[in-house]
Amino acid sequence: MRPAVALELLAAPGEVSGVRRALRSYGIDVQLCASELVTNVIRHVGEGVPVTVRVWREEGGRVRLGVTDPDPRALPVLVAAAGAEAESGRGLALLDALAVRWGVEQGAGRKTVWCELFAEAGAPKTPERPGRRRRSAGALGQSSARS
């Protein structure tokens, strides 16, 4: 399925609110995850780099979000726990809590950090998880197994 939304932008703090506005119809969870992923590009790859944000509906009532940047080496790392005084380290924990699953796809000269979320009316915003089989391995380029 082709992306329903494809946003091309240069990574900058001022662009994050525009991404949230453009994704308003997908719901707050998609907006939050997109904000965190674009912010991670700004923080870990740099301001001014080209970023592509893609969102589309998957079968089964899920929405898939992908944020692509030009640095395949700067991989996301899920930090075990950010302290109360920490100024960062919560973004991927938020994404991990909201997403059904997430991961990284690396390509020649790029990477895409993606996640899948429930977004259809009547579907749970966060799926029930009585027990997680394993931790997300986003930094290793593998997806989280929760579906």
Predicted local distance difference test score (pLDDT) of residue 66: 97
DSSP per-residue codes, 83-139: -TT-SSS-HHHHHHHH-SEEEEEEETTEEEEEEEEE-STTS-SS---SS-SS---GG
| Whole-structure pTM value | 0.76
In this predicted structure, the answer to whether residue 15 has a pLDDT above a threshold of 50 is yes
pLDDT exceeds cutoff 70 at 38: yes
Give the percent of the chain with pLDDT over 90: 57
Cβ atoms 71, 64 nearer than 8 A: no
Question: Strand order of the sheet with strand 5-10?
Answer: 5-10, 50-58, 62-69, 110-118, 101-107
Q: What is the pLDDT of residue 88?
A: 63
Query: With pLDDT > 70 as the criterion, what percentage of the chain qualifies?
Result: 71
- pLDDT, tens digit, for every residue of 124-145? 444 443 333 333 444 434 444 4
Average pLDDT on 5-13 reads 96
Predicted confidence (pLDDT) per residue in 88-116, tens digit: 667 888 899 999 999 999 999 999 999 99
**Local structure of 55: helix, strand or coil:** strand
